[in-house]
Amino acid sequence: MDGMSVHEDGLPEVARLLSGGGVVVLSGAGLSTESGIPDYRGPDGVRRHRAPMTYQEFVAGEAARRRYWARSHAGRAVVARARPNAGHLAVARLREAGRIAAVITQNVDGLHRAAGTADAVELHGGLDRVVCLDCGAVTPRTALDERLAVLNPSFRDAGSRTNPDGDVELPDHLVASFVVASCSSCGGVLKPDVVFFGESVPKDRVERCYRLVDDGRALLVLGSSLAVMSGLRFVRHAAKTGKPVAIVTRGTTRGDDLATVRIDRPLGETLTALAAPFTGAPCTG
């Protein structure tokens, strides 16, 4: 499928879907790359350099958790300073204008919320929260950052590459010396409040997303390769129930055969152009 022909034929069709309202958005990491957060699987993804830590690795032992928290602490600034890009802002405007009925995101960066889509369903959780695996307490990540800074006063970020899950590659000697914080309530094991690879999305969250797709008129996929089943299942469900599926992303996806329309071009400019007629925002695409 040629990218230019997809663009020329697809943009008006996606605009028609939006004009009817009731569109449910499913967003992925490709929507956040323009905010400086890399993507594991997109055209410029870093998956080939290092696979993300799995849930099984994290819970298996202290060494794995030390590695995760050292790298995450070093790379925290990348996610913390990231700001919503034109794509996130266009989605928020379309939501406010009543063209988008709901937003489901596979991203853990919180940028939909920061852009104004306060009710976005974060399918895989959020990096701005920490959960205790023992007592279940959920606390802000900023509080943990402060504790880690106190526990590791001489820690210096010597990372070489920032990864999509907010961490960086670190030399082994820096990881080995890192002190991990435990839960301040019970002394238990702390984990970012995100769904790791190998971990299941909470059942009630999945069911809520299915309901949103059922209640919507169409599904619009933004910046996702649909490589993992947690997102692909909603595309399959929408297609099975006869709802139009539009995909706007760079490169191919696992859901292309189910799409009624595909656009292969940058998300920010495309969504800005799509939003302009409905929100009065200038078209810069």
Question: pTM to 2 decimals?
Answer: 0.88
Among 34-38, 43-47, 118-122, 236-240, whose mean pLDDT is lowest? Answer: 43-47
User: Confidence band (pLDDT; 50, 70, 90) for 8?
Assistant: very low
Q: If you write DSSP's letter for every residue of 1-68 in order, what string do you get?
A: --HHHHHHHHHHHHHHHHHT--EEEEE-GGGTGGGT---SSSTT--TTT-PPPBHHHHHH-HHHHHHH
Known catalytic residues are 124
- The pLDDT of residue 46 is 45
Asked if 227 and 19 count as a contact pair (C-beta separation under 8 A), the reply is no
Residue 189: per-residue pLDDT: 97
Tell me the per-residue pLDDT of 213-261, one tens digit each, with 9 for 90 and over: 999 999 999 999 999 999 999 999 999 999 999 999 999 999 999 999 9
Give me 245's structure tokens.
């599926």
pLDDT of residue 280: 65
Handedness of CA 16, 86, 231, 130 (dihedral sign): negative
Pairwise CA distance, residues 100 & 94, whole Å: 6
- What's the pLDDT band for 3 if we cut at 50, 70, 90? very low
- Average pLDDT of the chain to the nearest whole number: 88
Tokens of 89: 């802002």
Per-residue model confidence (pLDDT) at position 167: 60
User: Residue 1's pLDDT band (boundaries 50, 70, 90)?
Assistant: very low
Residue 118 has pLDDT above 60, yes or no: yes
